Structure 1
């Protein structure tokens, strides 16, 4: 025996009256109901709510202050032509734990997209039930078997589900942009730390040379002490300078160890691991890269793209909140088989088709409040996007002016060093001719040695400004999206 059931839950009046007035039999009502639901879905989908397209909340400048003619590569650190640096950056991009954390944040966002996309498909469930009753002798018992299959589908009348899927897609893309931004930051930190280490080794070699020079001067003035030209206080002052340069050596050695530990951890290695490398001097500054136009930077920088994608996500969430104010249409169907034993299970069965149209009437202002909230979030994201763009412009301009002024500062510092060397040589001659006090000689020597150390620090700072410029101009260089390539 076959049993057929039709249940239209969205207020039976309209459909029932339509069927009865048109003289349609119960046999044809299922076809009519399916047609009616499909027509309603198609006709009402066209009414999906639209939101306004967001633009930058400020005017973009036409050009940056300075620009070179060298197009920087995406892997910008290769411009230094340092093979050891290239190896370290590659190692860090594969093994740095902070970067891997951001990567799996992206994988989480992808899973959320898949979960949200599942609402575009019907939910289908199967159920099996079997029971065995053994009642008292006065009651009838026996076996009962049920097998059922049911499906539920919400028709996306106003694009609410699609809007939520789009929002999660944008959010996942924003997370991937965060991953690219983290990779750029990591490469910059590796490069900066590497050249700090090289500068520290250069400082150490200079300090050791200065210690040797100061000790030779100390030995010389001790030998001259018996002649009466050298005072004991001069020896003490020279000894103090020797100890001061030894302190500089201790501090520099400590800094080298710390930087080596930092490099190891950035590469995903324990700080106790020994990093094998060749200490070298700082490289020459590469040619100034082409800065391009500011709007190219907006499209290129991953942090700006992340902010834009979050803005897009909030826009789609606002569209979904507006859709919640409109009626929802859902369709469900089920088929069920039931018998007293498995042998007769497929003899008796029934199925049903149901549609449900629900329209919100009074929710106490909750739906309007949600629209207001999502609109406020969208405005927040808009101005966060604008601020991110402004900061990107600022970082490029800051790096350009700092590099230019640092070059000027180095020229002045080199001139100071030349004058200090001349002053020290002149004062030393005057001292041994009895025309000057040794304190003036000592002061000039100390200044000359400090200027040499400062010059190394200034050259390092120049490289740091260039690294900041590369990072500010860098786009999201290609990073694999497959999980196995990130492990």
Structure 2
């Protein structure tokens, strides 16, 4: 159904009017505004966790990696945030979302067109030809009486916010990957240093065995067993050298650089910082950028439902057309015409398409509702898992430290007995191998403890800003 009410004026013709037009327009506007839909509140499909298993000790810094007090790590993270390629891609996705908001917002104002036409016609038998020039200004505007345009703009604004937090999520992920690669590189250097010392110790033991073999005190098989231990240690050293090269390459890529020279990682791991405060679970996870991104996508989907419902209502369009027309360019301003119009377009039959679009938008909203709930639950899980893992890993590190001390004492005692000729070499070899393996296990356990803490910081992260990051309040 389409209805049109037009008023036209010109310098050569009287103004035409339709009685009661103002009353009809007012009635139509009031009726259409009654069709406007209020946005429904979103009920979230999860129960709130009240407390975490551990409360924590101290407030973690917004730039969580600074808690390790590692200047080299701080430099690497700053460099990665400024130049890594995937993060740059997320930044421009965010800029794209900003542009989409501006595009959607343009529907709030009229579309205005200026057109200039000029032509020459040939004389016909009953027509006098000549120059024909027209300058026209046209404006079209849709009155957003029930909020379809407004809801669509709100949906784009929420997607814009979600895209911003996608960028933040990528930044948090990047900082975690840089910290992991850096500490793994440090641990690898510690392992290489330890293996060098162990190889030196094993060669000293081999020299001792050879001296005893020359004097007929031991069998030749003892030499072979010690050589086998040395070769096994060298094999592990080669594997760690390969791992070091790969970690350096990984770190280079994270910094947005081709594989090459990096800072030399000191062979020392930092002490574990105090446990960060966990606070109220729901308030804490609502700082996480991935949770906020999911939330704003849900809000956008809710506004899309409102827009789809509003799309089933009639549309009121207003138009203005002003023209200057003359057979000569000089007399262009002597003939003027202005027309005002409005049209009401109401959907009558679309084969169920409009209703299906509403159902589709509602289904998407429900999907994102459950996705948001799952995102929050997974955030709870990540934090709680990290807290439990750290508690148990601390216990494990302590146990391995005790094992290392016992193994060192055992080896020292057995070595004395072996030198005194009261013990076979095999017992010494087994104990030495166990001691060296426990020393390597301790380094790995300390690294795993730092990795767990990094996972906890990432699970709690959400407050730091990158250098080029605008304030979210600066909406487009």
Return the TM-score normalized by structure 2. Answer: 0.92
Q: Which residue of 2 aligns with 1:119?
A: 107
Q: Which residue of 2 aligns with 1:54?
A: 42
* 1:115–1:35 Cα change, 3 Å: farther
Q: Does 1:230 align with 2:223?
A: no
Q: Which residue of 2 aligns with 1:10?
A: 3
Match of 1:473 among 444, 456, 460: 460
Q: Which residue of 2 aligns with 1:65?
A: 53
Match of 2:387 among 387, 400, 418: 400
Maintained 8 Å contact 1:143/1:341: yes
Structure 1 window deviating more from structure 2 (420-429 vs 242-251): it is 420-429
Maintained 8 Å contact 1:84/1:277: no
Structure 1 window deviating more from structure 2 (328-337 vs 399-408): it is 328-337
Give aligned pairs, total: 464
CA offsets 1:119-156 (integer angstroms, 9 cap, x no match): 11111111111123456899743222111110110111
Q: Which residue of 1 aligns with 2:10?
A: none
Match of 2:278 among 291, 305, 313: 291
Structure 1 unmatched runs, 5+: 1-7, 17-25
Structure 2 unmatched runs, 5+: 8-13, 472-476
Q: Which whole-Å CA distance do the structure 1 matches of 2:171 and 2:23 have between them?
A: 53
Q: Secondary structure at the match of 2:402?
A: helix
* 1:136–1:372 Cα change, 3 Å: closer
Q: Which whole-Å CA distance do the structure 1 matches of 2:29 and 2:110 have between them?
A: 15
Q: Which whole-Å CA distance do the structure 2 matches of 1:31 and 1:85 have between them?
A: 78
Q: Does 1:319 align with 2:306?
A: yes
Q: Does 1:422 align with 2:415?
A: no
Q: Which residue of 2 aligns with 1:451?
A: 438
Q: Which residue of 2 aligns with 1:95?
A: 83
Q: Which residue of 2 aligns with 1:352?
A: 339
CA apart distance, 1:263: 1.2
Q: Which whole-Å CA distance do the structure 1 matches of 2:255 and 2:34 have between them?
A: 53
Maintained 8 Å contact 1:64/1:291: yes
Q: Secondary structure at the match of 2:192?
A: helix
Query: Over the residues paired in the alignment, what is the CA RMSD in angstroms?
Result: 2.3
Q: Which whole-Å CA distance do the structure 1 matches of 2:157 and 2:23 have between them?
A: 32
Q: Secondary structure at the match of 1:350?
A: strand
Maintained 8 Å contact 2:187/2:268: yes
Match of 1:253 among 236, 241, 244: 241
Q: Secondary structure at the match of 1:10?
A: strand
* 1:338–1:291 Cα change, 3 Å: same
* 1:161–1:464 Cα change, 3 Å: same
Maintained 8 Å contact 1:399/1:469: yes
Maintained 8 Å contact 1:417/1:448: yes
CA offsets 1:233-256 (integer angstroms, 9 cap, x no match): 111111111111111211111111
Q: Does 1:366 align with 2:353?
A: yes
* 1:349–1:233 Cα change, 3 Å: same
Return the TM-score normalized by structure 1. Answer: 0.90
CA offsets 1:458-481 (integer angstroms, 9 cap, x no match): 000000111111111111422444
* 1:153–1:312 Cα change, 3 Å: same
* 1:142–1:482 Cα change, 3 Å: farther
CA offsets 1:388-432 (integer angstroms, 9 cap, x no match): 000000000000000000000011111111222222223323333
* 1:31–1:147 Cα change, 3 Å: farther
Structure 1 window deviating more from structure 2 (251-260 vs 203-212): it is 251-260
Q: Which residue of 2 aligns with 1:170?
A: 158
Maintained 8 Å contact 2:272/2:450: yes
Q: Which residue of 1 aligns with 2:258?
A: 270
Maintained 8 Å contact 1:145/1:340: yes
CA apart distance, 1:59: 1.2
* 1:180–1:82 Cα change, 3 Å: same
Q: Which whole-Å CA distance do the structure 1 matches of 2:134 and 2:442 have between them?
A: 87
